[in-house]
Amino acid sequence: MRPAAGVWLARPGTARRAEGLIRAEQMRLLLGNMGSSLLPTIAVASLLLYTLATPANVAGLRLWCGAVIGSKCFGCWDARRILRGRIGPWRAYRLERWMLALTAIDGAAWGALAWTGFDPTSTANSILVVAVLSGIVGNAMSMLSPVLSVFAIFCVFELGALALKAWSLDDLPFRTLSLAVVVYFLSLLSQGRNSARAARAAIQLKFDNIGLIRQLRIESDRARQALHAAEQANLAKSRFLAAASHDLRQPIHAQGLFLEVLARSPLNDKQRTVLASARAASEASADMLHTLLDFSRIEAGVIEPQIEAFALQPLLAKLESELAPQANAKGLVYRTRDSGLALCSDRSLLELIVRNLVTNAVRYTEQGGVLVACRRRGAHAVLEVWDSGIGIAPEQQEEVFREFHQLGNPERDRQKGLGLGLSIARGLAQLLGHALTVASRPGRGSVFRLAVPLASMPALSSPTSPALLALDAPARGALPQRVLVIDDDAIVRVSMQQLLAGWGCDCQVADGIETALTLAHTWRPDMIISDYRLREQRTGAEAIATLRAQAGTPIAALLITGDTAPARLREARASGVPLLHKPTSPEQLYRSMELACAQRSPTFVHGRGRGTPTAEPVLHPQGTDPSAAPSLLDPAA
């Protein structure tokens, strides 16, 4: 693609090349016009030969006719030859000189009519010759004016010959005709200049448009490349987070289980104090990992809201009882305005949104307080979380909803979280179709508003969701007697075996599917607990399905994973096996084992008690995960 002339002119040292580009287009336009005049030239020259021929001038007119037709034929052939090649900027100047020579010959050939066919004694002859030569030069303007110099040289030779012939007759009328021809020539030259300027402007506009299109393509390519790079960076970030999260979850999961085993051991007061500190550190690490898990679940699109009508006040009371101590510890006032409204939403997901908003308010407020209120606005209730904190600048009010974006935390203090709370809140609000907005003034505080549809029916009287009821249904103590644990991490196998043994289970461990199959031939398990990602690209879902097929019975099973990659979450969900996420608390593991046994075997009998049959529980808003405590994406938290 040729660059725009305007682009060349804008660069030092390229003005001549830019002019050459324009001149090349002018020459291309001129040469393209040459063929249109061939047939008219042959017709007019032949007609004039027939009309003007007399015994005295027939030889000269024949020579003139042959010269005119020959000149025109050669010019058309040469134009087609040149157009088949490339007309570059530097060739254009040479072509212009060549066309000046050819056009001068063509003009002289036509002008020779005034000397060979002009009869001053015949008025009709004089009028015909003058009219034809005037018409030919007028027609030439439309063909030759793209290059003004070429048109001018044609006029000089053609009209010059006519003017000289008229002046040479030494008669006043003819000398007046000669002066009129000169005036006509100047008039044509002026019009030709205007036509040449218009052609040049059109060529310039063409180049400018080409340049703009080229620039647009370049910018589009850059935008596509930037988008691709951003997508790749986002994928790399997700893969890194998933890999880092998985690798961190393994030891923290095992640590939590070992701490539970240690807590059941005889310890003195000093050792129990150290154990409590170790548990607090482990829980803090687990909290951050569960926040990453919540974010990954939203990205994976595996959260399915369970919409219901419920009263708002129990949710507000619960949040105040749990979060007010955090505000009090910082010397803040935590207030909640009572509300009698009933909402239509997912109770657990709405609680997580408001919890994140309140936690964020407490985190970024150093004096004053936090207010949680709800107002009726038409068919919606607007939940508001006010704070008197540091506030948010206008240009940052959308950025705060971006993942890992934090204000006033350049040192990445873990006590200020990971910068995912508001991102999770916005993602869940979009999933539920609730509008989440913020208004703020730096140094004065902020207010986050969440618009939730009002319930069109009475709210459920109990604040406990069906998921929570399902999790609480089994009786304590209904654990399987034989448990097979499959995990490729040795420390996790040891911690699980010790914990389950402490719960009275006969636990065997395997590091892969083949080992598990060999063990199950002679030792049939009542439950399988498998890590989701095993060696050699195999999965826990595959292991459970294989063991069930070998046993010929639907053995109770749980999947445990440290993966947070969206694709893995979707795969695990599709397996239909309840999914726990590392680090899993011992309490959560215990209750999930109860549930899995109860839903698999209504008459399951353990040596220490009998379970209670239940309908298949809703373990998680996604329908798959009861384990993310203390994340509120898990109703059991």
Reading the block at residue 436, the tokens are 């989440």
Residue range(s) defining the domain that contains residue 580: 264-306+467-637
Task: Indicate yes or no: pTM above 0.75.
Answer: no
Domain identity same for 202 and 86: yes
Q: Is residue 386 within 8 Å of residue 441, measured between CB atoms?
A: no
The C-alpha atoms of residue 291 and residue 361 are separated, in whole angstroms, by 17
Q: Does the pLDDT of residue 580 top 70, yes or no?
A: yes
pLDDT in tens, 221-267: 898 898 888 888 877 766 665 666 566 666 777 777 777 777 778 88
pLDDT of residue 306: 79
> Which ranges in 373-480 belong to alpha helices (H)?
421-432, 466-472
pLDDT in tens, 547-568: 999 988 889 999 888 776 666 6
Domain identity same for 367 and 400: yes
Domain identity same for 93 and 58: yes
Last residue of a domain, one of 202, 221, 240: 221
The C-alpha atoms of residue 468 and residue 458 are separated, in whole angstroms, by 20
For residues 615 and 41, which has the higher predicted lDDT (pLDDT)?
41
Task: Reduce the DSSP state of residue 357 to 3 states and report it.
Answer: helix
Q: List, in order, residues 6 or more apart from 416 with CB less than 8 Å away.
A: 363, 406, 409
Last residue of a domain, one of 221, 246, 274: 221
Q: Does the pLDDT of residue 617 top 70, yes or no?
A: no
The C-alpha atoms of residue 248 and residue 230 are separated, in whole angstroms, by 26
The C-alpha atoms of residue 134 and residue 140 are separated, in whole angstroms, by 10
User: How far from 188 is each of 111, 134, 151, 192, CA to CA, in Å?
Assistant: 16, 10, 9, 6
The C-alpha atoms of residue 94 and residue 82 are separated, in whole angstroms, by 12
pLDDT of residue 578: 87
The phi and psi torsions of 409 (rounded to 5 degrees) equal: -140, 55
pLDDT of residue 242: 62
Does residue 102 form part of some domain? Answer: yes
Total number of domains constituting the chain:
3
Q: What percent of the chain has pLDDT over 90?
A: 16
pLDDT of residue 230: 83
* Longest pairwise C-alpha distance within the chain: 143
State the average pLDDT over residues 340-367.
Answer: 86
pLDDT in tens, 292-304: 555 566 555 556 7
Number of other residues whose CB lies within 10 A of the CB of residue 277: 10
Q: Is residue 241 within 8 Å of residue 564, measured between CB atoms?
A: yes
Does residue 255 form part of some domain? Answer: no
Does residue 249 form part of some domain? Answer: no
pLDDT of residue 7: 40
Q: Does the pLDDT of residue 10 top 60, yes or no?
A: no
State the average pLDDT over residues 371-392.
Answer: 89
For residues 460 and 128, which has the higher predicted lDDT (pLDDT)?
128
Domain identity same for 519 and 586: yes
Q: Does the pLDDT of residue 624 top 50, yes or no?
A: no
Q: Does the pLDDT of residue 486 top 90, yes or no?
A: yes
Q: What's 485's domain CATH number?
A: 3.40.50.2300
pLDDT of residue 246: 62
pLDDT of residue 547: 92
Mean pLDDT estimate for the chain: 78
Ranked by mean pLDDT, the top range of 20-24, 78-82, 566-570, 615-619 is: 78-82
Domain identity same for 480 and 617: yes
Candidate from 46-50, 60-64, 223-227, 322-326 with smallest mean pLDDT: 322-326
Candidate from 212-216, 393-397, 414-418 with smallest mean pLDDT: 414-418
Q: Does the pLDDT of residue 26 top 50, yes or no?
A: yes
The C-alpha atoms of residue 178 and residue 366 are separated, in whole angstroms, by 101
pLDDT of residue 457: 56
Q: Does the pLDDT of residue 633 top 50, yes or no?
A: no
Q: Is residue 317 within 8 Å of residue 344, measured between CB atoms?
A: no
pLDDT in tens, 487-512: 988 888 888 888 898 888 999 999 99
pLDDT of residue 286: 63
Domain identity same for 605 and 478: yes
Q: What percent of the chain has pLDDT over 70?
A: 77
pLDDT in tens, 524-546: 999 999 988 888 888 888 999 99
End-to-end CA distance of the chain: 64
Q: Does the pLDDT of residue 212 top 80, yes or no?
A: yes
pLDDT of residue 288: 54
Q: Does the pLDDT of residue 38 top 70, yes or no?
A: yes
pLDDT of residue 623: 34
The C-alpha atoms of residue 133 and residue 159 are separated, in whole angstroms, by 7
Q: What's 312's domain CATH number?
A: 3.30.565.10
Q: Is residue 207 within 8 Å of residue 156, measured between CB atoms?
A: no
Nearest to 313 by CA among 337, 339, 334: 339
pLDDT in tens, 310-340: 999 988 988 888 888 888 888 899 998 988 8
pLDDT of residue 419: 54
DSSP for 575-612, please give it.
T-S-EEESSPPHHHHHHHHHHHHHHH-TT-EETTEE--
DSSP for 249-317, please give it.
HHHHHHHHHHHHHHHTS---HHHHHHHHHHHHHHHHHHHHHHHHHHHHHHHHT------EEEESHHHHH
Domain identity same for 154 and 108: yes
Q: Is residue 529 within 8 Å of residue 558, measured between CB atoms?
A: yes
Does residue 259 form part of some domain? Answer: no
CA angle 325, 326, 329 (to 5 degrees): 85
Q: How big is the chain by its Cα radius of gyration, in Å? A: 46
Last residue of a domain, one of 464, 489, 510: 464
Nearest to 385 by CA among 305, 292, 323: 323
Domain identity same for 322 and 302: no
User: How far from 364 is each of 139, 387, 448, CA to CA, in Å?
Assistant: 83, 9, 13
Q: Are strands 482-486 and 445-453 parallel, antiparallel or unpaired?
A: unpaired
DSSP tag of 7: H
Q: List, in order, residues 6 or more apart from 78 with CB less than 8 Å away.
A: 102
Domain identity same for 60 and 131: yes
Does residue 243 form part of some domain? Answer: no
Does residue 32 form part of some domain? Answer: yes
For residues 633 and 192, which has the higher predicted lDDT (pLDDT)?
192
pLDDT of residue 605: 36
CA angle 331, 415, 413 (to 5 degrees): 125
Domain identity same for 493 and 458: no
Q: Does the pLDDT of residue 9 top 70, yes or no?
A: no
State the average pLDDT over residues 471-495.
Answer: 74
Candidate from 75-84, 388-397, 458-467, 506-515 with smallest mean pLDDT: 458-467
Does residue 254 form part of some domain? Answer: no
Does residue 230 form part of some domain? Answer: no
Candidate from 68-77, 239-248, 477-486 with smallest mean pLDDT: 239-248
List strand residue ranges (DSSP E) for 337-393, in order. 342-345, 369-377, 380-387
Domain identity same for 164 and 271: no
For residues 110 and 260, which has the higher predicted lDDT (pLDDT)?
110
For residues 250 and 516, which has the higher predicted lDDT (pLDDT)?
516
H/E stretch holding 49 reads helix 38-52
pLDDT of residue 8: 40
For residues 633 and 554, which has the higher predicted lDDT (pLDDT)?
554
pLDDT of residue 14: 61
Domain identity same for 432 and 559: no
pLDDT of residue 290: 60
pLDDT of residue 374: 92
